[in-house]
Amino acid sequence: MMLVPCPWCGPRNATEFRYGGAAGARPDLVSATPQQWREYLYTQRNPLGWSREGWYHRAGCRRHITIERHTGTNEVRLAEDG
Amino acid sequence: MSLTTPNPTSTRVRPGRLAPQPGEVIDRRRPVTFTWNGSTHRGFQGDTIASALAASGVRVFSRSYKYHRPRGLLTADFLDPGCSVQVGDEPNVRGGHRLVENGMVVSSQNTWPSLRFDVKAVNGLAGRFLAPGFYYKTFIKPQLLWPLYEKVLRRFVHAGEVPEAGTGGVSGETFDKRYAHPDVVVAGGGPAGMAAAAAAARTGSRVMLVEEEHELGGHLRWGDADDLATLRDLRAQVAAEPGIEVLTNAVVSGRFDDNWLSIVERGLPQVFERLVKARAKTLIVAPGLIERPYVFEGNDLPGVMLSTAVRRLVNLYAVRPGSRAVVLTANPEGDAAVEDLRRAGVEVAAVVDARAGDTVVRATGRSGVSQVELSTGARIACDLLVTAVGWTAPTSLLNMSGDRPVYRPSAARFLPDPQRMPDDVLATGGIVGDGTVTELVAHATAIAGAAARRAAARARAIGEAVPTRGDDAPALPDPDPTPVDVPVLAPADHPELFRSSTHGFVDFCEDVSSKDLVIAIKEGYDSIELVKRYTTVTMGPAQGKLETVNTVAIVAEATGRTMAETGTTTWRPMYAPVTLGALAGRIHEPVRYSPMQRWHEQHGATPLVAGQWIRPEHYGDPAAEVRAVRTGVGIIDVTPIGKLDLRGPDVAELLNLLYVNKWSKLGVGKVRYGVMCAEDGVVMDDGVTGRLGEDRYLMSTTSSGAATVWEWVEDWLQTSHPDWRVHVTPVTTAYASINVAGPRSRELMARLVSGVDLAPDAFGYMQVRTGSVAGVDDCVLWRIGFTGELSYEVHVPASYGLQVWEALMAAGEDLGVVPFGVEAQRILRLEKGHFIVGQDTDGLTKAYSSAVDWAIKLDKDDFAGKPELVWQREQGPTTQLVALQPVDRATVPEEAAQILGEDGRIAGRITSSRMSPTLGRAICLGQLEPSLATPGTLVTVRLVDGRDIRAEVIEGLAHVDPEGTRQRV
Ligand SMILES: [Zn+2]
């Protein structure tokens, strides 16, 4: 089980967190087409390499954090603005 | 012991117990009696089941999986595929590993009617029906016969009898879990592992040393006098270090991200198995080597053994494994086995030296080997054939760490690729290379030094990454950054010996022969992964440890590729078998009770499990409880209702975003019902939120949605609107919640409430007040309710919950107040037509299918799920929530019963149904196609028993009081 680097609590077991999926901007409500909205809801890019993700420390500080994770190795680092 | 003395009249010694051996692990002062297939046998404490039986001359231990061939000992350790046995109520016990105990009842598995005469051995003759892929080929068609096939196949499966459910685990013992945070975990307690553990501990590391056998020592244990002296010395070094925790009869079964290790400990006092979850800073992999079987005709006959099996039997258990032996040897271990056999009085009829190019072609015999044919053409009578043809490196933990071991032909085995080893995993011992014990110890000591330094660096990095680390916390380690000089441990040259000129078994567990592999390749399954899945090779209980390299070699030979090109199948966790009990651990199911739980129990409540909560389902007669609420007054414990205290100037903004309806104009003292949707427009939760003060709100959620909604709120606040000034506090269990419902509820409340004017025009429907109830201050009172009656929901500071509950019961005695449970509430709300999220809606039900169109305000700029609801309204909902009444008043269709359209297709379903005590008829809610949802429409409902009934769609959702006058009085 990977350790997630929480900036508030330090490295903690991933099971303390809820994975929030790849971080992506919510489309504009007025101009979004159903296609765009559903891509936002359901389609994950799932790249092989570094991916920006939201994690929620539900069994800890209850803060949302943004980390970068290498999907090939599970190496993680806190995003610059995480 | 009669067996220790050879029979003087016999010309040959018999298999049996030897005179005491210098390294033996049996305690001859402690005899043990046990039964094997009903007959009594004796052994000594320290014997395994297999060694005790071998000492009393047992040769056949089981029947094989597919062909029911007789099988004996092959490895005489945990991996031995031939001696899985049943012990009491415990199946699949590894007989080569489990120690005998007094009174143990041991039996062979997978044999009918008996081990000696197995009728299913006829499969050996009918083998063509069990060719590779036989599951796929033979039993495909006709599909109608599958139930029969399953019955037939089940008889052939080699598995024991599983204990009865609910007996509390095997032999009444428990399973357990433990968490550990060692600096260094050493997997393997042979010479390298012991030396590594001792060296790491000397630097101050906390070490966990894990050994699969019952004691430390590895191959030193069956070695010569020098080996035994080294063994004593290394054991003393380990014992001298208090920083080492030794786990024997335990195995590191998996390595996961960031050195999260699963370690299975077996046979602890009162604990059958314990799963240790260890977060190790570094892991040293030191499992040694596994001896590899040789593939030739007859290689599975009882009496064909590996050299390590013979050395174990002779030296650890003082067992003479046969009378007349042929030994095929390609290495010093095989040569040493020859010496052991001679010392044990076994006649060594021939030593076949594979290094000189000689080999064994076939072994023959009926229930065991009786003759061996050599490549020279010689045929030799014997009852024991020993092979020593090479080693398999058990690289599982390295593969799980991301390493890809590389095949080295000159050493005839796979070796770790140092380039791909992660920083926190190191390897030492036989898995790395060969050498004298001194060389192994030197390598292990250096590796341990490196492991300890990296562990210290890791501890420092973790410590520095904790921002809340106090000034008084213990100092972080100061790791020595200089790299450790690790001596070279080179693998010794070894001839490549996998298969003779004949075909034999590759996988003894799954009964897969080299011929089966060749056939599979000819049929086109020419990659190692396909061969594995098609033939099931490496998929049995040994999980590839004995058979993977031979499989690779045979696939390579048959395809004309090299071993390296062929590659191996993937090593996945678990490395060793783990019981489901160990994975489950102790039963630690936390439950939640309201402060009134003891009262409910004392008053005959039937408990209902509702998520984590235990709630009263009813107090004997839910229909009577319903009637009491409709005619008088009742109280219900609704503590599990989710409650969030929201404070700050931007709460209304937040509510506008979370709910589909509008919140900007909610006045102080007012309450509003709201529906929450997820971003896909699906109804996620509902509840009421009240404004208690200028900047203070109390949100209620469904009981099951309390945790989800809290996270949902935090989600929006933290990621989308960090600028909003809102503070969220979950107060679900800070309050005990009681709903007081019924036409006489105001009368009851008036006797206990102070500080709140209960007059209808002062405290009207959908309003909220704070005041005191039964002398308890800071209570929140809402005029809302799920029942459709005049009702008050009271949130009481939790520690006073029971007091207020009892006060209500006492004060309402003359009013006939009754407690009512969840079942009565469900009936009451169904009569009133209130839907339940997750019951009358599901994971696809959007808001316009939930009869809340009136609440959805699409003119708001933004709210969660808005775009989907815009499109749902444009297209029209696919289903609608409706109320239905069966024409036959007495028939209650089951929840989830299908509603059929005119043409017989499924047009909807019943989502809630009950007999209404108020109306004396069956009532329902359902999801229905819009074309059938017009009031007055008659639809067909198919019951579970297949009968069809008719039901009428009614106007609105309420079966009782559709105008809503009762709740507004
Ligand atoms: Zn945290």
pLDDT tens-digit profile of B726-749? Answer: 999 999 999 999 999 999 999 999
Interface of B with A in 385-424 (CB under 8 A): 402
Res. B135: pLDDT tops 70: no
Whether residue B358 has pLDDT greater than 90: yes
User: What crossing angle do the helices spanning B651-658 and B706-715 adopt, rounded to 10°?
Assistant: 110
Q: Is the peptide bond before B421 cis (omega within 30 degrees of 0)?
A: no
Q: Answer yes or no: do A7 and B866 touch at CB < 8 A.
A: no
CA of B199: how far to CAs of B453, B458, B747, in Å? 12, 18, 80
B427 contacts: CB under 8 Å, gap ≥ 6: B284, B285, B286, B398, B416, B421, B447
* Domain co-membership, B681 together with B794: no
To the nearest whole Å, the CA of B258 is away from the closest chain A CA by 5
Beta carbons of B718 and A26 less than 8 Å apart: no
Please judge whether B468 and A54 are an interchain contact, meaning their C-beta atoms are less than 8 angstroms apart. Answer: no
A-chain residue closest to B277, CA distance: A1
Residue of chain A whose alpha carbon sits nearest to that of B259: A1
B 926-965 → A contacts, CB under 8 A: none
Assess whether pLDDT exceeds 60 at residue B274. Answer: yes
Is B838 part of any domain?
no
Q: How far is the CA of A59 from the centre of ligand 1 (A)?
A: 8
Q: Residue A31's closest chain B neighbor by CA?
A: B867
Average pLDDT over residues B288-299: 97
Say if residue B8's pLDDT is above 50: no
Ligand 1 mean position, distance from CA B252 (Å): 30
Residue A58 located in a structural domain? yes
pLDDT digits 0-9 by tens, B414-452: 999 989 999 999 999 999 999 999 999 999 999 999 999
Task: Tell me if B443 is assigned to some domain.
Answer: yes
Q: How far is B684 from chain A (nearest CA, A)?
A: 15
B435, B468: one domain: yes
Band (pLDDT 50/70/90 cuts) for residue B126 is very low
* Band of residue B64 on the pLDDT scale cut at 50, 70, 90: confident
Q: What is the pLDDT of residues B777-823, one digit of tens each?
A: 999 999 998 899 999 999 999 999 999 999 999 999 999 999 999 99
Kindly state whether residues B548 and B654 are assigned to the same domain: no
B718 and B615 belong to one structural domain: no
Check whether residue B646 and residue B524 sit in a common domain: no
Find the CB nearest B871 among A34, A41, A62. Answer: A34
Inform me whether the pLDDT recorded for B99 exceeds 80.
Answer: yes
Last residue of a domain, one of B497, B522, B550: B497
Partner-chain residue, chosen from A11, A20, A74, that has the shortest CB–CB distance to B462: A11
Task: Kindly give the distance from the C-alpha atom of residue A2 to the centroid of ligand 1, in angstroms, as a whole number.
Answer: 15
B67 confidence band (pLDDT: 50, 70, 90)? confident
Instruction: Tell me, yes or no, whether A71 lies in a domain.
Output: yes
Question: Are residues B45 and B145 both part of a single domain?
Answer: yes
**Å from CA of B462 to ligand 1 middle:** 14
Q: What is the pLDDT of residue B69?
A: 87
Q: What is the pLDDT of residue B128?
A: 43
How many Å lie between the centroid of ligand 1 and the Cα of residue A17? 9
B714 in contact with A at a CB cutoff of 8 Å?
Answer: yes
Q: Provide the number of structural domains found in chain B.
A: 6
Is residue B152 over pLDDT 60? no
Quote the percentage of chain B above a pLDDT of 70: 92
Split at pLDDT 50, 70, 90, the class of B111 is low
Residue contact B861–A29, C-beta within 8 A: yes
Whether A57 is in a domain gets the answer yes
pLDDT over threshold 90, residue B214: yes
Summarize pLDDT for B644-681 with one digit per residue, the tens. Answer: 999 999 999 999 999 999 999 999 999 999 999 999 99
Contact list in A for residue B590 (CB cut-off 8 A) is none
Of B635, B582, B936, the residue nearest B791 (C-alpha): B635
B312 found inside a domain: no
**Residue A64: which of B402, B466, B715 has the nearest Cβ?**
B715
Whole-angstrom Cα distance, residue B46 to residue B365? Answer: 32
CATH of residue B559: 1.10.10.1100
Confidence of residue B167 (pLDDT cuts 50, 70, 90): very low
DSSP B449-488: HHHHHHHHHHHHHHHHT-TT--TTSPPPP----SPP-PPP
How many whole angstroms from its chain centre is CA B531? 28
Domain extent, residue A42, equals 12-24+34-78
CATH code of the domain in which B678 resides = 3.30.70.1400
- Per-residue model confidence (pLDDT) at position B151: 58
Whether A37 and B867 lie within 8 Å, measured CB to CB: yes
Q: How far is the CA of A14 from the centre of ligand 1 (A)?
A: 11
Q: Which residues of chain A have pLDDT under 70?
A: 23, 81-82
Shortest CA distance from B256: residue in chain A: A1
> What tens digit of pLDDT does each residue of B548-597 get?
999 999 999 999 999 999 988 778 888 988 888 888 888 778 899 999 99
- Mind telling me how many Å the CA of A43 is from chain B's nearest CA? 13
* Domain shared by B659 and B797, yes or no: no
Q: CA-based angle B918:B920:B926, to the nearest 5?
A: 85
The structural domain count of chain A equals 1
Residues B707 and B770 in one domain: no
- When scoring B256, B262, B466 by the number of chain A Cβ atoms within 10 A, the one with the most, hence best to mutate, is B466
pLDDT number for residue B743 = 97
Specify the CATH number for the domain of residue A17. 3.30.2270.10
Stronger pLDDT, B8 or B373, i.e. the higher one? B373
In a domain, B187, yes or no: yes
Helix ranges, B539-640 (H): 548-559, 563-566, 580-584, 597-602, 622-631
Domain final residue, candidates B709, B731, B753: B731
Q: Does B715 touch chain A (CB under 8 A)?
A: yes
pLDDT for the residue numbered B702: 95
CA B349 to chain centre: 51
* B131 vs B123, higher pLDDT: B131
Chain A: residue whose CA lies nearest to B278: A1
Does residue B752 sit within a domain?
yes
Of the candidates B669, B696, B679, the residue with the CA atom closest to the CA atom of residue B770: B669
B207 within domain boundaries: yes
Chain A residue numbers with beta carbons less than 8 Å from the beta carbon of B279 are: 13
Residue B77 lies in a domain: yes
Distance A82 CA to ligand 1 centre (A): 12
C-alpha closest to that of B327 among B342, B345, B312? B342
* pLDDT score of B3: 36
Do residue A10 and residue B465 have CB atoms under 8 angstroms apart?
yes
Say whether both B231 and B100 belong to one domain. Answer: no
Q: Within a domain: residue B57?
A: yes
Residue B11, pLDDT > 70, answer: no
Q: Hey, which residues does B325 pair with through a beta bridge?
A: B348, B384
In a shared domain, residues B194 and B263:
yes
Which pair of structure tokens corresponds to residue B484? Answer: 């450790």
Q: Does B143 touch chain A (CB under 8 A)?
A: no
Q: Which two tokens stand for residue B134?
A: 């036989």
User: Which chain A residues have a beta carbon less than 8 Å from that of B867?
Assistant: 29, 32, 34, 37
Residues of B in contact with A18 (CB under 8 A): 711
Residue A20 lies in a domain: yes
Q: What pLDDT score was predicted for residue B756?
A: 96
pTM of the model: 0.87
Same domain, B634 and B652: no
> Per mean pLDDT, which range of B34-48, B520-534, B905-919 is the poorest?
B520-534
CB atoms within 10 A of CB B772: 17
Is the CB of A2 less than 8 angstroms away from the CB of B258? yes
Residue A4 domain-assigned (yes or no): no
Q: Are residues B758 and B903 in the same domain?
A: no
How far is B247 from B546, CA to CA, in rounded Å? Answer: 24
Residue B679 sits at the chain A interface (C-beta within 8 Å):
yes
pLDDT of residue B139: 52
- Pick from B462, B467, B866: CB nearest A8: B467
Q: How far is A35 from chain B (nearest CA, A)?
A: 11
Centre of ligand 1 to C-alpha A60, Å, is 5
Residue of B nearest to A10 (CA): B466
Position B116 pLDDT exceeds 60: no
B846 touches chain A (CB under 8 A): no
Please report, for the domain that includes residue B419, its CATH number.
Answer: 3.50.50.60
Q: B467: which chain A residues are within 8 Å (Cβ-Cβ)?
A: 7-10
CB contact under 8 A, A32 and B867: yes
Q: CB pairs below 8 Å between A and B: how many?
A: 57
Query: Dihedral angle at the C-alpha atoms of B299, B302, B303, B309, nearest 10 degrees?
Result: 90
Query: Are B871 and A54 a contacting pair at CB < 8 A?
Result: no
Determine, for residues A1 and B258 on separate chains, whether the beta-carbon distance falls below 8 Å. Answer: yes
Residue A54, in any domain of the structure: yes
Q: Residues B903-926: pLDDT tens digits?
A: 899 999 999 999 999 999 999 999
More confident residue, B544 or B878: B878
Torsion of CA B165, B171, B173, B175, to 10 degrees: -50
Classify residue A63: in a domain, yes or no. yes
State whether residue B862 sits within 8 Å of chain A by CB: yes
Q: Which domain holds residue B681?
A: 642-731
Residue B155 predicted with pLDDT over 70: no
Instruction: Work out the minimum CA distance from A27 to partner chain B, whole angstroms.
Output: 10
| pLDDT value of position B586 | 81
Which residue of chain A has the CA closest to B869? A34
Residue A6 is assigned to a structural domain of this protein: no
pLDDT at position B164: 55
Could you tell me the pLDDT band of residue B153, with boundaries at 50, 70 and 90?
Answer: low
B332-343 vs B307-315: helix crossing angle, rounded to 10: 40
What is the residue-averaged pLDDT of chain B?
A: 92
Tokens for B959?
Answer: 């079966």
